[in-house]
Amino acid sequence: MGIIKKGILGGFSGAVGPIVGSSWKGISYMKSLPAKKLNTSSVAQIEQQLKFSLIIHFLQTFTALLELTFKSYANEMTAFNSVFSYNIKNAVTGISPDFVVDYPNALVSRGNLPNAIGPTATAGLGGTIVCAWADNSGTGNALPTDNAVLAIYCESMSNSIYTTGNTTRSELTETLDVAAFSCKVVQTWIAFISENGLEASNSFYTGQLTVS
């Protein structure tokens, strides 16, 4: 409550409505109360923040890989920012607030190098995943020396395992040790990068598996 000290035309102290009265060195003055801070986050902003967190959580396990596989799309931004931009637009599904990563539409590699024909991934013995593909060297700029990229993501462990140069396109198969994900559900992709590391293919989603 404000107190008027010298009549209606005099100074006052305290608050009267949105006005605060006070004095300094005998000089009376008034000022407005500070506006209450409002929560201005809209529903759309909150939903975008949820999607942002979801995609960052997924992609951060592939950070080193993405520097190679999104290199050609890192124009005026980092490779990570490029892959983040693509996936937040194309690889989120669900109804707020229960958004999830749409793994079949997610990319962990992007470029103009042709992927292989009919790539597959199957759970092998002893905590392995076996990837196989048909050699399409000579299609576009695909070469037999292109390196296979196998990418495995375990959501429940928030971790990934991947290779970037163990096997070439012409070798048709690669076995990856993922025993660290034993008995866990994983998501799998295959891609290719050129021998000089300058070209990459779009990744191909090879499905969800349970590691033995």
What does the alpha-carbon distance between residue 67 and residue 109 come to, in Å, rounded to a whole number? 10
The answer to the question of residue 15 being in a domain is no
The answer to the question of residue 21 being in a domain is no
User: Under a CB-based contact definition with an 8 Å cutoff, are residues 195 and 143 in contact?
Assistant: yes
Nearest to 188 by CA among 120, 127, 133, 134: 120
The answer to the question of residue 11 being in a domain is no
The answer to the question of residue 78 being in a domain is yes
Q: Which residue has the tokens 């506006």?
A: 35
pLDDT tens figures, 83-129? 999 999 999 999 999 999 999 999 999 999 999 999 999 999 999 99
The answer to the question of residue 38 being in a domain is no
User: Under a CB-based contact definition with an 8 Å cutoff, are residues 65 and 151 in contact?
Assistant: yes
Strand partners, 153: 160, 187
How many structural domains compose the chain? 1
Average pLDDT value for the chain: 89
What does the alpha-carbon distance between residue 162 and residue 106 come to, in Å, rounded to a whole number? 16
The answer to the question of residue 32 being in a domain is no
pLDDT tens figures, 33-92? 666 555 557 899 999 999 999 999 999 999 999 999 999 888 878 999 999 999 999 999
| CATH assignment of the domain containing 126 | 2.60.40.10
The answer to the question of residue 49 being in a domain is yes
**Domain boundaries, position 83:** 43-210
pTM, whole model, 2 decimals? 0.80
Provide mean pLDDT across the span 206-211: 98
How high is the pLDDT of residue 110?
A: 97
The answer to the question of residue 186 being in a domain is yes
Nearest to 167 by CA among 116, 212, 118: 116
